[in-house]
Structures are given as C-alpha cells and as structure tokens.
Amino acid sequence: MTAHSLQKAPTGKDIMDAQSRIASFIHKTPVFTSKAFDAMSNKSCLLKGEHLQKTGAFKARGAMNAVLIHRDSAQVSGFITHSSGNHGAALSWAAEQIGAPAYIVMPSNAPQAKIDAVKEYGGLITFCDPTLEARELTAAELQRSTGALFIHPYDNYDVIAGQATATLELLQEHPDLEWLFIPVGGGGLLAGASLANYYFGKAKVVGCEPSNADDAYKSFISKTRVSVKTPNTIADGLRTSLGVRNFPIILDHVNDIILLSEEELENAWHICLSRTKQFIEPSAASGIAAALKHQSTGKAGIMLCGGNMNTSQFALR
C-alpha cells in the first residue's frame, strides 16, 4: 500500500487506513469503569485509557501515522517538530520505530522531565530561545540543513487521522455510545474524535476545555477562530489554541464545548486517582470534569488523553 499525505479532512476510510497502518506499533488501550463514578456523573461511563498508550499519550497515534505515511518518501531524511510537550516525545518514538532521526526544537527553559522524555525515545534536541519566533526559525534552519520533514503537533491531517483512531477503537467496542467527552487544546484529538464519531458512531461530541484557555469555546461560539495568549491552567496540554485545519472540522462535527474551572479539573483528577487508581495528567481530567458537570444521562465515553506529569511534588512522607 503506497500511502499519501492527506490534503483534506480525513474520511472514514482514511481513519480505517490509519488504524491498520499503526496497529502493530501502538497499544490497543484498556477501558476503565467505576460504579462510584457512574453514580456521581449520573451516566454509564467508559474511560478510554490513552494514558497507557505508547509514550504515555494518544499523541503516539498521530505521530506514528504521519511517520509511516512518509516512510517511503525518498525526500524525507527525518522528522522535525518544535513541540515541547507529548508530541515531541511521540514523534521521537515514532521516528525511532522506523530508524529515522527526529529533531526536536525545545526552548532553553523546557522542564527537565520533558527533555528526558524526548531523549529517552532517541529524539535529537536543539535548544533555542523561549520565543515562538526562535522556535520557528530554528526549526526552519534545521529543516534546510537536514532535509527532515516538519510534523505539526495537531494542525496536520495525517496527525488528525491518527488521533481519530483512539475514538474509532472505543466505538468499535461500544458502538452505542451516546456521549463523547474529549479534551481540546490544539484540536487534533477533538477533530479526530468528531470525525471518527461522524463516520462510525452516533454520539454527541462534547469538547472539554479549561475556562482559563477558552479559545476553542470562543471560536466555536463566534464561528471565528480566536487564540488565547499565555493561558494559565494546570492542564498544560490544553494551553494551545485551535489549528487552522482543526477548527472547521470541529465546527462541523462537534456538538458542544464545555468549560471547566481549575477547581473542577483538580477535583476530577482526584476522583480519577481515588476511584480508578489511574494516574493521568491534568489535561486528561477535563473529560472527567465535563462528564460530572454535563447535565446528561446515558452511555458516555471519556478520553483519558495522557498520563505524563512530574510526580516529584507528591511526597509520601
């Protein structure tokens, strides 16, 4: 099968192809349930454990799909990104699977835990000043000198198709889901989930966003893409603003976006820890917080998008 990079929003077939393409590399993640949580949320909830995915986040799916699509291209001699979050580690891991180099541009003030994660998966780090301009300039220079291909963390149809497979996997096991609660940052996961549901499900899709990073909510309401400068939320994976390619998909296929306070996110994180014993990152708590807040009943899927956070502040003694 010769694969081509997608030039428009993924179709149902594109998502199925992505699933087959990445199947031997990624984990089919388990689903967690809790009677106590069902009682609290007044729903029957299925928590999709993407925090147990390779590299600790759903990002492995999109990165692997993009890398495999470009594997056979003679022009590609590696991959580049300037994400310092889960995508940087995921792209490093995905490139390593096919023996290609991954060049990760990171700000000089990136947390040690994120630097370590990229290094662990063999990513080659180039540090730059902590400004967007410096990151883009450094990535462009690297691209010229290495011939490597830039893979955007979310504003990329191949990545969106890969992220869609998390929801497809859940819908294949539970086609009767009535609600999907999906965290939204740049919109790769939410765009993918809403497309997977459009083609293979019948749920209403609810984007879950911190009130302190409410660009997707504002964009969704006004139908005009807006961004939020320096959002201040514990959900570090959701601080980014919607991508150009992600926004129209979300407008077309998402039913609602719900905003969560920092208190609601922290409460949801604790409930997840105590009730399911699953350690998730604060971004992943947004789906749980939304399911608790949303006035609805029925069978709901909640995407636990990742589990990467520093644990050093959790002292036992």
Beta-carbon contacts of 274 under 8 Å, excluding residues fewer than 6 positions away, are none
Q: Does 261 bind its own copies (CB under 8 A)?
A: no
**How many residues line the site for its own copies (CB under 8 A)?**
27
Task: Extract the tokens encoding 93.
Answer: 């891991």
From candidates 262, 293, 298, 299, binder to its own copies by CB under 8 A: 262
- Distance between CA atoms of 21 and 23, rounded to whole angstroms? 6
- Distance between CA atoms of 170 and 245, rounded to whole angstroms? 24
Task: Extract the tokens encoding 35.
Answer: 């009677």
From candidates 201, 269, 290, 303, binder to its own copies by CB under 8 A: 269
23-52 residues near its own copies, rule: CB under 8 A = 30, 36, 51-52
Q: Does 270 bind its own copies (CB under 8 A)?
A: yes
Q: Does 112 bind its own copies (CB under 8 A)?
A: no
Angstrom distances, CA of residue 249 to CA of 204, 246, 252, 286: 15, 6, 5, 21
From candidates 5, 20, 227, 274, binder to its own copies by CB under 8 A: 274
Beta-carbon contacts of 39 under 8 Å, excluding residues fewer than 6 positions away, are none
Distance of CA 176 to the CA centre of its chain: 23
49-108 residues near its own copies, rule: CB under 8 A = 51-52, 56
Which DSSP state fits 306? B
- Distance between CA atoms of 289 and 237, rounded to whole angstroms? 16
- Distance between CA atoms of 317 and 313, rounded to whole angstroms? 11
Residue 48 φ/ψ, nearest 5 degrees: -85, 120
Stretch that binds its own copies, among 16-24, 95-103, 176-184, 264-272 (CB under 8 A): 264-272
**Does the active-site annotation cover 48?**
no
**Does the active-site annotation cover 59?**
yes
Q: Write down the least CB distance from residue 108 to its own copies, Å.
A: 24
- How many CB atoms are closer than 10 A to CB 18? 31
- Residue 4 or 314: the one with the smaller Cβ distance to its own copies is 314
- Residue 32 or 154: the one with the smaller Cβ distance to its own copies is 32
- Distance between CA atoms of 63 and 40, rounded to whole angstroms? 35
Q: Write down the least CB distance from residue 251 to its own copies, Å.
A: 32
Q: Write down the least CB distance from residue 105 to its own copies, Å.
A: 25
Q: Does 289 bind its own copies (CB under 8 A)?
A: no
- Among candidate residues 43, 48, 54, 59, the one labeled active-site is 59
- Residue 7 or 99: the one with the smaller Cβ distance to its own copies is 99
From candidates 12, 137, 279, 299, binder to its own copies by CB under 8 A: 279
Stretch that binds its own copies, among 158-166, 203-211, 212-220, 305-313 (CB under 8 A): 305-313
Kind plus residue range of the DSSP H or E element containing 124: strand 124-128
Binding positions for its own copies, rule: CB under 8 A? 30, 36, 51-52, 56, 120, 234, 262, 265-266, 269-270, 273-274, 277-280, 282, 307, 311-317
Residue numbers annotated as active site: 59, 84
